[in-house]
């Protein structure tokens, strides 16, 4: 990893695409029967990610799980099965729920209902993972492929008791499930220490509460920080340890940033553990409405 990063830094930016292509090709040749991106990507299977769930006050998490195999393989009967596994903020499993997924159809689930029917847990947020099995017909159809993984990029929904819903897409990967193997392979074992500068201008007066949500998809505890800075250079820092496969919510309210110019602020994440593990920005407004976005 270190040598690869050093080589990347030394390589002129104009040469990087060529160098990357050469690197991936040679690595693929040397590594044999797996995808060059990861040694765990062997044969056929799926890649799944951890998503944020919340079930508190006015909020619930709405899962509308589309059978995406039907869209990719419309001439096959893509009926399949799936599971959703719900974890607390420290990555401890709370429940696992199985369901059937019709061809061209989908499944609708609410996290609040799953929690109340399975457990007496009191946590109000955490992570969850969805796993739609590769349908048998699709497995058969793609069996000539040496390495093929389906990566479910679904949109998680959140709803309010007022009757609103919003969605945000997945961004990253957490587990590799090779077909016919029970145990998952971690996509990331060790964290990086990256910084990310969300594009969105922040006017805190617009919000009742903002959450910057960070998920640690690696197998190692990390320390992540959020800096809110105004145009004059004044800043507020918040930081938190996130256990392996855990989640952290950085709450920003008008009170959190007292003393900063409220309508001229930017955010920065420090200690981001994975390249694509950007924060989810969860917005709650004074009128009770919500929205969510990836930064």
Partner 1 sequence: MTRLLDLISTPVAVLNSLDLNLRIGLSSEDPMVGRNEPESYEAFLSLYSAEGILVKRDHLGKIEPRTRRFFDISGMTQSTFGNLDHLCVVHRIPSRLINDGDNLEDSIECNEDYSLFRATVEYSYTGGGNGSVIYDTPPNLNATLPNIRTSNTLTLSCQTVLSDTLNTVVVLIHYSVDDSYSRISEYSYAFYSLSGELVFSDRVKISPFSCKVLDLANLIPYELVQKHRDTADGFTTFNLVGYSNDAVIMPVILNVAPSLGAVSLEHTHPPVAYMIAKDASYPRSVKSKAQQIWGNIMDGWGDR
Which residue from 5, 195, 221, 258 is in contact with partner 1, where contact means CB under 8 A?
A: 195
- Which residue from 135, 217, 219 is spatially nearest to 179, judged by alpha carbons? 135
* By the rule CB under 8 A, 124 interacts with partner 1: no
Would you say 74 or 93 has its CB closer to partner 1? Answer: 74
For residue 61, list its beta bridge partners: 158
Distance from C-alpha of 110 to C-alpha of 160, rounded to nearest angstrom: 12
* By the rule CB under 8 A, 132 interacts with partner 1: no
What does the block give as tokens for 196? 């990310």
Residues 199-228 touching partner 1, rule: CB under 8 A, are: 199-203, 206
Would you say 22 or 162 has its CB closer to partner 1? Answer: 162
* By the rule CB under 8 A, 236 interacts with partner 1: no
Size of the site for partner 1 (CB under 8 A): 79
Contact indicator for 100, 124 with CB cutoff of 8 Å:
no
CB of 253 to partner 1, least distance (A): 15
Distance from C-alpha of 173 to C-alpha of 185, rounded to nearest angstrom: 11
Counting beta carbons within 10 angstroms of the beta carbon of residue 41, is it exposed (0 to 12), middle (13 to 18) or buried (19 or more)?
Answer: buried
CB of 28 to partner 1, least distance (A): 7
Residue whose entry in the numeric block shows the structure tokens 């976005």: 293
* By the rule CB under 8 A, 256 interacts with partner 1: no
Distance from C-alpha of 215 to C-alpha of 250, rounded to nearest angstrom: 11
* By the rule CB under 8 A, 95 interacts with partner 1: no
Name the helix (H) or strand (E) containing 16: helix 16-31
Q: Which stretch binds partner 1 (CB under 8 A): 86-94, 160-168, 244-252, 254-262?
A: 160-168
Would you say 198 or 273 has its CB closer to partner 1? Answer: 198
Contact indicator for 119, 92 with CB cutoff of 8 Å:
no
What does the block give as tokens for 106? 């989908």
Q: Which stretch binds partner 1 (CB under 8 A): 29-37, 84-92, 212-220, 250-258?
A: 29-37
Q: Which stretch binds partner 1 (CB under 8 A): 118-126, 218-226, 236-244, 264-272?
A: 264-272
Which residue from 20, 192, 249, 294 is in contact with partner 1, where contact means CB under 8 A?
A: 294
Write each residue from 55 to 94 as x if it is in contact with partner 1 (CB under 8 A), else as -, in one continuous string. ---------xxxxx-xxxxxx-------------------
Helices (H) and strands (E) in the chain, counts: 5, 20
């Amino acid at each position: 990893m270190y040598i690869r990063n050093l080589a990347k830094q030394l390589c002129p930016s104009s040469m990087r695409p060529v160098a990357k292509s050469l690197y991936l090709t040679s690595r693929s040749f040397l590594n044999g029967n797996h995808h060059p991106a990861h040694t765990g990507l062997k044969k056929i299977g799926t890649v799944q990610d951890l998503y944020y769930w919340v079930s508190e006050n006015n909020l619930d998490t709405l899962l509308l799980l589309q059978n995406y195999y039907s869209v990719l393989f419309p001439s096959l009967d893509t009926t399949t099965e799936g599971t959703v596994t719900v974890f607390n903020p420290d990555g401890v499993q709370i429940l696992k729920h199985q369901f059937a997924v019709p061809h061209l159809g989908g499944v609708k689930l609410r996290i609040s209902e799953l929690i109340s029917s399975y457990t007496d847990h009191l946590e109000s947020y955490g992570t969850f993972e969805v796993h739609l099995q590769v349908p048998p017909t699709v497995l058969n159809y793609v069996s000539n492929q040496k390495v093929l993984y389906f990566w479910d990029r679904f949109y998680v929904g959140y709803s309010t008791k007022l009757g609103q819903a919003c969605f945000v897409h997945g961004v990253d990967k957490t587990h590799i499930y090779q077909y016919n193997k029970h145990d998952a392979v971690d996509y990331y074992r060790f964290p990086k220490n990256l910084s990310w500068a969300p594009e969105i201008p922040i006017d805190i007066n617009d919000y009742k509460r903002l959450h910057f949500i960070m998920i640690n998809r690696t197998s190692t505890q990390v320390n992540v920080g959020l800096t809110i800075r105004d145009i004059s250079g004044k800043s507020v820092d918040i930081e938190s340890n996130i256990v392996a496969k855990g989640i952290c919510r950085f709450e920003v309210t008008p009170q959190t940033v007292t003393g900063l110019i409220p309508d001229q602020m930017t955010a920065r994440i420090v200690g981001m553990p994975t390249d694509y593990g950007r924060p989810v920005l969860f917005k709650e407004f004074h009128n009770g409405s919500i929205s969510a976005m990836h930064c």
